[in-house]
Amino acid sequence: MEATTAADTASPGRLLAQARRRAGLTQAELARRLAISQAAVAQLERPDANPRIATLDRALRAVGAELLIAAPPRPASVDESLIRGQLALTPSQRLHALELAHTQARELARAGRRSRGEPD
């Protein structure tokens, strides 16, 4: 089975047109299989077409393809273990850690200024 790229499947119309061409069918041949006009197939294949899922599924099945829709979970954009770790601390422990981080950041900034020859 040939893999498709995001550009190939950016729209339902492009997806259908690609599947039809891969099956070696013309728009007229697909139209006959679907019992619709060639003009209707051309409309379905327009890049801005927005057919119902059932319509797209039926057309893809007619060219020997299967419509698969997936919604895999996205990976978290933050390290949730760090959040859980912070939430496990008491408010005073979090405040102490924040004060320590602030002190360390000031020391790092001071070291950077010294390394560039800037005044403290």
DSSP of 11-40, one letter per residue? SHHHHHHHHHHHTT--HHHHHHHHTS-HHH
| 120 residues of the chain, pLDDT tens digit each | 455 555 556 899 999 999 999 999 999 999 999 999 999 999 999 999 999 999 999 999 999 999 999 999 988 788 889 999 999 999 999 999 999 999 999 999 999 999 999 987
In CATH, 12-62 is 3.40.50.720: no
